[in-house]
Amino acid sequence: MKEFISTQNAAKPIGPYSQGIIAQGKFIFISGQIPIDTNGSIVGEDIKAQTKQVILNIKAILESIGASLDNIVKTTVYLSDMNNFSAMNEVYEEFLGSSKPARAAFQVARLPKDVLVEIEAIAVVE
């Protein structure tokens, strides 16, 4: 379903992600998720708690179609402050470290509801 791309001729990843992914199957595009629960309440006041909730939201969306976090081939992480990158990365690695999807991360001026993190994902299912 997915194959990691790894070459010594390009920079090695500096975190739990791959240089690239070759994917076969149906693509699932998951809209940017922010740290809100099913009641619409913001979960967590720090980057770790908010990142965990975001990933749990993505996980729930994938599970609703019989998939898992292992099906993710690409994520984009939006941070309100790049100083939170390391702490976000710790939580991200707990959930996605073994599947190492391709990833980009950006600091943005502002996120919805003034949260600290938003993550969108692309997954592949057969």
C-alpha count within 13 angstroms, C-beta hemisphere, residue 74: 15
Q: What is the pLDDT of residue 121?
A: 94
Give the angle subtended at the CA of 80 by the CAs of 87 and 107, to the nearest 5°. Answer: 90
Q: How many CB atoms lie within 10 A of CB 42?
A: 16
- Ordered structural domains, the chain, with CATH: 2-7+26-125 (3.30.1330.40)
Q: What is the pLDDT of residue 20?
A: 73
DSSP class of residue 100?
-
* Listed range (21-35, 58-72, 75-89) with the worst mean pLDDT: 21-35
- In single-letter form, the type of residue at position 49 comes to A
| pTM of the predicted structure, to 2 decimals | 0.87
For residues 76-82, average pLDDT: 98
How many helices (H) and strands (E) the chain has is answered by 2, 6
**Residue 100: which pLDDT band, with cuts at 50, 70 and 90?**
very high
Q: What is the pLDDT of residue 73?
A: 94
